[in-house]
Amino acid sequence: MSTEITLVDPGRDWEAIQRLIANTPGSTLGSLTSIEKECSNNSECYVTKVVDTIADAIVGISVWFIYTSQKHPGCWTGPTTHPHVYLYLISTRALEEDNHSAESLMQWGLDRADSMGLEVWTYSSSPENSLYCANGFTKVEEILTESQSVWSMKRTVIANRRVHREAYNSSHGFW
């Protein structure tokens, strides 16, 4: 499967996104509506999609919030007041080949966080999820709800020089 990641076009893509998110555990029509409303009215929100270029179909989406100033903790801001990147949602089709889509969506947000020197926060009902573990997330706090436990999870700041080591170690093109 050949794919590409782009930002969502809300006017054109939202119906396909709703179908994809509707298959996510715990998703409701109310949560879909609130995601659409928040994303269309918030300049700090970035909705990315993975498109199967052969089938011309959206196979995954992610919702990210990039906060470069302090915010009060909340549903749309994550559990910290410090500048950070908050992963609200990653959703892909439940096919084996779409694991690559989830990883690509995760990498999109992590690249932005690393380039700005920001930590990444998310909530997860399955903190042992391999996608989070493989990308350096650690459990911070268990939050007990009526129906399940949810974990706040954090990926610490990765120094920009460490991420872009090759560029810093090479003077090729520097002068």
Is residue 43 a part of any domain in this protein? yes
Is residue 145 a part of any domain in this protein? no
For the segment 26-36, what is each residue's pLDDT rounded down to a tens digit? 555 566 677 77
The model carries a pTM of 0.79
For the segment 6-26, what is each residue's pLDDT rounded down to a tens digit? 888 878 888 888 877 766 655
Number of domains present in the structure of the chain = 1
Confidence band for 89, pLDDT divided at 50, 70 and 90: confident
For the segment 37-77, what is each residue's pLDDT rounded down to a tens digit? 777 778 888 999 999 889 888 898 899 999 888 766 665 55
Domain containing 93 equals: 3-123
Q: What is the CATH number of the domain that holds 65?
A: 3.40.630.30
Q: Which long-range CB contacts under 8 A does 45-49 form with residues at least 24 apart?
A: 45/76, 46/7, 46/109, 47/7, 47/8, 47/10, 47/17, 48/5, 48/6, 48/7, 48/8, 48/105, 48/108, 48/109, 49/5, 49/6, 49/7, 49/8, 49/13, 49/17
Comparison of pLDDT for 113 and 98, the residue scoring more = 113
Is residue 130 a part of any domain in this protein? no
Is residue 97 a part of any domain in this protein? yes
Is residue 61 a part of any domain in this protein? yes
